[in-house]
């Protein structure tokens, strides 16, 4: 995309509840950011129109002519093909829709589309935990486990839009419960916020040992990490399981794309260096020696990663 004479671009991160929008200078500086609600009624048919209106208003407010805007990058929660086609977004209600063409027609601006997790990875590489690298993998540990792969500065979308679907790689061979995806043994089942709570409850049920975790009415991933840090043995066991399977999954990923850096984001990553330590020792153990020194670090952009990465889609060389 030609960014000559262009000063600005937009980064748009479409979530199930709100759309986050950032106005950026081409050099990466965030000028302004705001949110609009995601109108999911009638299969999400108003979402792109709402975004186009919001962008137009923001340009008027800031007195920026369309000619000075390089384009709009947009991250969406579903599989995205290289041509900008989005292949069903359950959270928004969309079926198959070419977001690049539709939002392009609505705004008169060039539009580039990416999967939200992949775009978040691009954001972390550009201005976050992966800054200074051009080959990185983001693991997003939230309610589920998402991921994004960036190689030589480019997102890997995959041929079915499923590049970086690392939450659903099979790692737990003896898993008896079924994942939301219908399979058994996915990484997400043990390494998400939901997964670590489920594993902790299993440990508590099996063990006769005392544990502070037994006093929580609605046990959360944060509670487990907090108690593990203060020495609670059963909480530490739950963290161990998460660390083990994340270490294995990262070793799997390294055997495929061998990145420079792994960045860990999502709500669970608020556990900080304690989480990194739990993952890192397992990664070093399970990975092929050539990739052993890959860096493992925390994401730094939080919920803004998608907005940053979406903007970067437009200004990538």
H-run or E-run covering 295: strand 295-298
- Please name the residues in contact with 88: beta carbons below 8 A apart, sequence gap of 6 or more: 78, 79, 94, 95, 96
Query: Residue from 64, 151, 212, 298 that binds its own copies (CB under 8 A)?
Result: 151
Q: What is the DSSP letter of 178?
A: P
**The two structure tokens encoding residue 274:** 């304690």
For residue 112, state whether it binds its own copies (rule: CB under 8 A): no
Nearer to its own copies, 135 or 192 (CB): 135
Helix (H, G, I), strand (E, B) or coil at 13: strand
- Shortest distance in whole angstroms from residue 71 CB to its own copies: 21
Rounded alpha-carbon distances, angstroms, from residue 287 to 39, 94, 151: 44, 39, 19
Distance, in Å, from the CA atom of 307 to the CA atom of 311, rounded to the nearest integer, reads: 6
Q: Is 67 in the site for its own copies (CB under 8 A)?
A: no
Q: Does 85 bind its own copies (CB under 8 A)?
A: no
Q: Residue 96 interacts with its own copies (CB under 8 A)?
A: no
Question: Which of 64, 257, 270, 316 forms a contact with its own copies (CB under 8 A)?
Answer: 257
As measured in angstroms, the least distance from the Cβ of 39 to its own copies is: 26
- Regarding 135 and contact with its own copies (CB under 8 A), the answer is yes
118 binds its own copies (CB under 8 A): no
**Binding flag, residue 264, its own copies (CB under 8 A):** no
Stretch that binds its own copies, among 96-104, 222-230, 264-272, 288-296 (CB under 8 A): 288-296
- Local structure of 16: helix, strand or coil: coil
> Is there binding between residue 15 and its own copies (CB under 8 A)?
no
- Output DSSP code: residue 67: G
Candidates 248, 263, 271, 305; binder of its own copies (CB under 8 A) is 248
Q: State whether residue 217 is helix, strand or coil.
A: coil
Q: Is 294 in the site for its own copies (CB under 8 A)?
A: yes
Determine which residue in the list 123, 129, 163, 195 makes contact with its own copies, applying CB under 8 A: 163
Report DSSP state, residue 220. Answer: -
164 or 266: CB nearest its own copies: 164
Residue 289 makes contact with its own copies by CB under 8 A: yes
User: Which are the contacts of 246, defined by CB distance < 8 A and separation ≥ 6?
Assistant: 139, 141, 187, 191, 278, 279, 282, 283
Q: Within its chain, how far is the Cα of 121 from the centroid? A: 6
Binding site for its own copies (CB under 8 A): 79, 87, 135, 149, 151, 156-166, 168-170, 173, 181-183, 185, 248, 251-260, 285-286, 288-291, 293-294
């Amino acid at each position: 995309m030609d960014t000559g004479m262009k000063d600005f671009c937009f980064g748009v991160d479409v979530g199930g509840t709100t759309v986050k929008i950032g106005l950026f200078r081409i050099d990466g500086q965030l000028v302004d950011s705001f949110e609009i609600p995601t109108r999911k009624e009638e299969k999400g048919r108003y979402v792109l129109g709402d975004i186009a209106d919001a962008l137009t208003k923001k340009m008027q407010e800031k007195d920026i002519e369309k000619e000075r805007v390089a384009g709009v990058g947009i991250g969406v929660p579903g599989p995205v093909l290289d041509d900008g086609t989005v292949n069903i977004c359950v959270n928004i209600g969309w079926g198959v829709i070419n977001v690049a063409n539709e939002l392009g027609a609505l705004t008169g601006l060039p539009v580039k589309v990416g999967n939200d997790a992949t775009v978040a990875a691009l954001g972390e590489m550009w201005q976050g935990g992966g800054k200074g690298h051009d080959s990185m993998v983001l693991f997003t540990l939230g309610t589920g486990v998402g991921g994004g792969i960036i190689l030589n500065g480019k997102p890997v979308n995959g041929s079915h839009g499923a590049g970086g679907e690392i939450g659903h790689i099979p790692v737990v061979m003896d898993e008896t419960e079924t994942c939301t995806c219908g399979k058994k043994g996915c990484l997400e089942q043990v390494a998400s916020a939901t997964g670590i709570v489920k594993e902790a409850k299993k440990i508590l049920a099996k063990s006769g040992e005392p544990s502070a975790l037994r006093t929580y009415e609605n046990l959360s991933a944060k509670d487990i990490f907090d108690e593990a840090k203060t020495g609670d043995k059963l909480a530490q066991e739950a963290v161990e399981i998460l660390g083990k399977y994340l270490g294995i999954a990262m070793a799997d990923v390294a055997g495929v794309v061998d990145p420079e850096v792994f960045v860990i984001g999502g709500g669970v990553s608020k556990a900080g260096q304690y989480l990194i330590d739990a993952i890192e020792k397992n990664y070093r153990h399970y990975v092929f020696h050539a990739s052993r020194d890959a860096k493992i670090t925390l994401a730094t952009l939080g919920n803004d990663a998608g907005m940053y990465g979406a903007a970067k889609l437009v200004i990538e060389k």
